[in-house]
């Protein structure tokens, strides 16, 4: 029985322990009771029930229908709970209890694991920003805007339309107008795209007027998840000047059902790319611990891998994004989610959007399911990722998948 008999090197072994929220199919009382769980291989341990059964003081944080109480409890509690969970799934004395509270993933429903407070999306990949600049501003002297190397560019998105992996995404409708068109038209987007990103989940809140410095990142951010920032490029192109993304983005953002705690990613920390411009003191991370994460992302359309974006190439780190997001005195709330921005590496096979992969529709991708520039109804997009773990292991990130359905 899992977890003690997990195969050697399972990316969801006891070194990982990502958190989610699940309910059992056909639960005895039919209530669809939700509980915090941790993933072990292709099973989930009911962490709330385990805490209760083992008389743990952490039952008040884990026997809950959402991760929010745990998120709000802060860094010391996060470490203590993780230590307790690690013991439960590795110490033989707990074997029978844990086995009896562990369920195959095929027998549970995974829910949005936390109540999303505010949602922000950044633009932290230099390769992505340069590709977008070359596509949309071909005559510009520099493919980057003048501010790009001085601050992490972002916008506030729509928290209420963040959905868990597996949720269908309805093709959005809206206005579009190509430069040569005489007038805008209304209808379903014909340029529906993805953005392969990593989402950071804020646990501990902060007070208004109290910026979070770079060194405060680990006190406030609990963990990360994979994130797909669905984007209607035609709606976006017509509406975004001068205030930025709006309806071309706000119809849906998908996140993985599993939140990987930062404590599971210690071996994945890497230095970000060399800084080419001096940074203002609140963003200068030259004296900080490495702020990058070595996450190997894979993007599949209808099961066919089209790209493998490397997160280690991101110019701006999550700590810098948090510092920038709060430097004006804006507060953090438990459940705040911020996206990294599309992850794109240097090579063509490392681009994190169809916009870049097809160069705005010019070069169609040849997939087993047919030619694609942008997404067609019925297409399923799946992001997966792993990171280096302790002793040569891999830390698996929960996948984020979504199917496009017609408007």
Binding interface with Mn ion (CB under 5 A): 121, 195, 229
Active site residue 94: no
Q: Based on CB atoms, which residue is closest to Mn ion, 195 or 356?
A: 195
Cis (ω within 30 of 0) for the bond into 169? no
Q: Based on CB atoms, which residue is closest to Mn ion, 121 or 308?
A: 121
Q: Are 204 and 242 in contact (CB under 8 A)?
A: no
Min CB(268)–Mn ion separation in Å: 22
Give me the torsion for CA of 289, 390, 274, 398, rounded to 10°.
Answer: -100
Of 297, 131, 282, the closest CA to residue 213 belongs to 282
Q: Based on CB atoms, which residue is closest to Mn ion, 155 or 282?
A: 155
Of 202, 220, 343, the closest CA to residue 272 belongs to 343
Buried b (16+ CB within 10 A) or exposed e, 100-129: ebbbebeebbbbbbbebbbbbbbbbbbbbb
Q: Based on CB atoms, which residue is closest to Mn ion, 10 or 229?
A: 229
Min CB(346)–Mn ion separation in Å: 19
Beta bridge partners of 39: 44
Q: Based on CB atoms, which residue is closest to Mn ion, 36 or 159?
A: 159
Min CB(385)–Mn ion separation in Å: 16
Min CB(119)–Mn ion separation in Å: 11
* DSSP class of 271: P
Quote the Cα angle for 31-32-38, to 5°.
Answer: 140
Output the six-digit token pair for 34: 């939700």
Pairing mode of beta strands 269-270, 292-293? antiparallel
Of 127, 68, 53, 30, the closest CA to residue 357 belongs to 127
Min CB(239)–Mn ion separation in Å: 15
Single out the catalytic residue among 25, 94, 103, 128: 128
Q: Based on CB atoms, which residue is closest to Mn ion, 229 or 350?
A: 229
Task: Report the residue closest to Mn ion, judged by CB.
Answer: 229
Q: Which residue blocks in 68-147 are alpha helix, DSSP H?
A: 68-73, 75-90, 95-100, 126-136
Min CB(227)–Mn ion separation in Å: 8
Cβ neighbours of residue 167 under 8 Å, at least 6 residues apart? 252, 254, 402
Q: Which residues are catalytic?
A: 128
């Amino acid at each position: 029985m899992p977890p003690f008999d997990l195969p050697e090197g399972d990316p969801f072994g006891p070194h990982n322990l990502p958190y989610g929220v699940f309910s059992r199919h056909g639960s005895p009382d039919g209530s669809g009771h939700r509980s915090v769980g941790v993933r072990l291989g292709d099973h989930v341990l009911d962490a709330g029930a385990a805490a209760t059964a083992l008389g743990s003081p952490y039952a008040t944080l884990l026997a809950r229908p959402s991760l929010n109480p745990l998120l709000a409890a802060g860094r010391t509690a996060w470490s203590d709970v993780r230590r307790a969970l690690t013991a439960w799934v590795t110490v033989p004395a707990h074997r029978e209890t844990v086995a009896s509270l562990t369920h195959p993933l095929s027998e549970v429903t995974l829910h949005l694991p936390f109540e999303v407070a505010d949602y922000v999306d950044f633009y932290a990949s230099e390769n992505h920003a340069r590709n977008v600049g070359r596509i949309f501003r071909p005559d510009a002297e520099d493919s980057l805007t003048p501010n790009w190397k001085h601050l992490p560019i972002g916008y506030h998105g729509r928290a209420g339309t963040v959905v868990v992996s597996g949720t269908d995404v309805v093709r959005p409708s809206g206005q579009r107008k190509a430069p040569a068109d005489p007038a805008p038209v209304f209808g379903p987007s014909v340029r529906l795209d993805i953005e392969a990103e990593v989402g950071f989940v804020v646990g501990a809140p902060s007070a208004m007027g109290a910026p979070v410095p770079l060194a405060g990142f680990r006190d406030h951010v609990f963990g990360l998840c994979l994130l797909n920032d669905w984007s209607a490029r035609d709606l976006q192109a017509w509406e975004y000047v001068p205030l930025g993304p709006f309806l071309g983005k706000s119809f849906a953002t998908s996140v993985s059902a599993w939140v990987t705690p930062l404590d599971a990613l210690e071996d994945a920390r890497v230095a970000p790319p060399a800084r080419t411009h001096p940074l203002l003191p609140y963003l200068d991370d030259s004296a900080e611990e490495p702020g990058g994460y070595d996450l190997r992302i894979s993007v599949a359309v209808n099961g066919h891998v089209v790209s493998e974006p490397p997160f280690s190439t991101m110019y701006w780190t999550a700590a810098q994004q948090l510092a920038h997001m709060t430097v004006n005195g804006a507060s953090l709330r438990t459940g705040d989610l911020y996206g990294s921005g599309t992850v794109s590496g240097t090579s063509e096979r490392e681009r994190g959007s169809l916009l870049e992969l097809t160069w705005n529709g010019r070069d169609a991708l040849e997939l087993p399911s047919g030619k694609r520039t942008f997404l067609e109804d019925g297409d399923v997009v799946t992001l997966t990722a792993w990171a280096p773990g302790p002793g040569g292991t891999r830390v698996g990130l929960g996948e984020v998948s979504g199917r496009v359905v017609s408007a």
